[in-house]
Chain A
């Protein structure tokens, strides 16, 4: 089946510095949709970004990501990290599970900690 690989484990960055969380994928389908989910402490995951257009930059809440099908990547970036960005981040791929049904495949998550 399809798979999503993220920067694993913990990423620590100093407030005000740029941050990049890597996400690559393997899929057998040509048409796909990608998501970044963010989960704050003791909360539910929620969508941060989504994209299905190759080479188009998507932005939200200061974060941005560009789907590059040529390199099978959908990295998440921010130019200046804030303390409030500390959270668990998931990259996810929407794939067909048969007929017109779709399900998400999540990466294992990256815990981002922003320090003063």
Chain B
């Protein structure tokens, strides 16, 4: 059974609209992450969280907000979606520690028109 799930798996949004991507993990991990994947840029960290009710900015946070209401759930919010935010978004979770590997969800393909 998949330990990190994402919803929706695919979404088409209009420019200026609000988009919410959801992530749920059953790994009992403290850390959760949101990445976007673009050809030529690889995986880039948007936001992450190491405890419920707290989020941290990653490397490219502009235009995104995050919410961690519980240990299991982590959402990524695009208040005003733009064309440049068309990408594949991955959520991941990990245990504490620098050797801890991250476990990724299946991804959400977002297209902003």
Q: Which residues of A contact B (CB under 8 A)?
A: 1, 31-33, 35, 43-47, 50, 52, 90, 94-97, 100-109
Contact = CB atoms under 8 A, between A and B. Distances in A.
Interface in B35-84: 40-45, 48, 50, 56, 58-59
A104 to B, nearest CB: 6
Contacts of B97: 102
A101 B98 CA distance: 8
Interface residues of B, number: 27
A103 B107 contact: no
B51 to A, nearest CB: 10
A35 B101 contact: yes
Contacts of B48: 103
A107 B29 CA distance: 24
Given A97-B56, A104-B45, A108-B42, A50 B106 contact: no
A108 B41 contact: yes
Given A45-B90, A104-B45, 16 more contacts: A33-B99, A43-B106, A44-B4, A44-B104, A44-B106, A47-B102, A52-B99, A95-B98, A97-B56, A102-B98, A102-B100, A103-B45, A103-B58, A105-B59, A106-B42, A108-B40
A90 to B, nearest CB: 6
B98 A96 contact: yes
Contacts of A31: 98
6 contacts: A31-B98, A33-B99, A44-B104, A102-B96, A102-B97, A104-B33
A107 B106 contact: no
